[in-house]
Structure 1
Amino acid sequence: MLDHVSITVSDLPRAARFYDAVMAALRVPCVNRSDVAIGYGVRNRAGDDGHAYLSIRAAGAPVHADRRHWCFRAPDRAAVDAFHATGLAHGGTDDGAPGLRAHYHAHYYAAFLLDPDGNRVEAVCHRAPEADALTKDDALR
C-alpha cells in the first residue's frame, strides 16, 4: 500500500544512530545521507514498483510525536529481536518487547520502540517459526 514514508526528527545525527542500527537489524540498507535527510530501502522505478523507501528528515524544530506509528516488515523473528535490542542500545525506548500478538493473528511476532523523538516504530514478522526455518534453509542451498 505504501510506496514511501517520511519520519521527522528534531536531531538528525541522534536519529541516524538509532535508525542506522534498527534498519541494519532488519537488513534494510541506508541508500542516501545528507545534512537534512537519511534514506533507507529502495525507491521504485518505472516498471519496478515492488519496493519501499523510508526517509528520516530533520524537522528544524521540536517534534511532537503524538500517535504516529510506523511498522516495518522483518524477514524473520530473529530480525524482530535484533531490531528491539539494537534500538534500545542506540537511544530507543521499549514500547513492547518482542513476542507474539495473537490478537492480530497466530503468527504476528512484533516488537515496539519509541525512537529518540518519541515516534513509535514497530517491526513485525507474519511467518510461523517453521516458515522462518524453511526460508533460511532454502537460502543456504
Structure 2
Amino acid sequence: MIDHTGVIVSDFAKSKAFYAAALAPIGYTLIMEVPAAVTGHTDVAGFGENGKPDFWISRGTPNQPPIHVAFRVGQRAPVDAFHGAALGAGGRDNGGPGIRAHFHPDYYGAFVLDPDGHNIEVVCHAPADA
C-alpha cells in the first residue's frame, strides 16, 4: 500500500497554487508546509484530505522524465471538475474526461500536465450510475 508520493517542481509557489486549485474538486487541500530550514534541503508542501498529506511537492529540479500520478475518486463528477479546475489554474490538457475502455469498461479519467509537465490524472472506476 502506498502511503504518500510526490513530485519535484521548478517553481514552488506556482506549483503550490496550481495543485491547490486543481485538487480542490477532489477534496484535497494544502495541509502542511515545511521550509528548507526544517527539512535541511528544500521547501515541501503536502496536500491531502482529512488532515493527512499524501501528495507532496518539493522545490528542485523537476523529475525527468516527468512522472504520472493518479488520484482515485468514487464518482465521475469530480473527474470533470478536476479537469476544468486544473486547466483554469494553468495546466495543459493531456486527455479530457472520458471512458478509457482499454483499461476497463468503467475507467473514467482525465489527464492534465502540471507546470513542469508531470501527468496528473483523476480517475473513477465506478459505473456511471453509481
Q: CA deviation at 1:65?
A: 3.9
Counterpart CA distance in 2 for 1:27 and 1:75 is: 12
Equivalent positions of 1:32-51 (< 5 A) are 32-35=32-35, 36-41=43-48
Go from structure 1 to structure 2 and tell me whether the alpha carbon gap of 1:16 and 1:52 turns closer, same or farther (over 3 Å shift): closer
Counterpart CA distance in 2 for 1:21 and 1:34 is: 20
Runs of 5+ in structure 2 lacking a partner?
A: 36-42
Q: CA deviation at 1:123?
A: 0.5
Structure label with greater radius of gyration: 1
Counterpart CA distance in 1 for 2:2 and 2:116 is: 23
Partners of 1:73 and 1:125 within 8 A in 2: yes
Partners of 2:112 and 2:119 within 8 A in 1: yes
Counterpart CA distance in 1 for 2:74 and 2:16 is: 22
Runs of 5+ in structure 1 lacking a partner?
A: 45-50, 132-141
Report how many aligned residue pairs link the two structures: 123
> In structure 1, what is the equivalent of residue 105 of structure 2?
106
Query: What amino acid maps onto 2:7 in structure 1?
Result: I
Counterpart CA distance in 2 for 1:18 and 1:107 is: 28
Counterpart CA distance in 1 for 2:28 and 2:50 is: 12
2:81 corresponds to 1:82: yes
Partners of 1:94 and 1:113 within 8 A in 2: yes
User: SS of the counterpart of 1:97?
Assistant: coil
TM-score when normalising by structure 2:
0.85
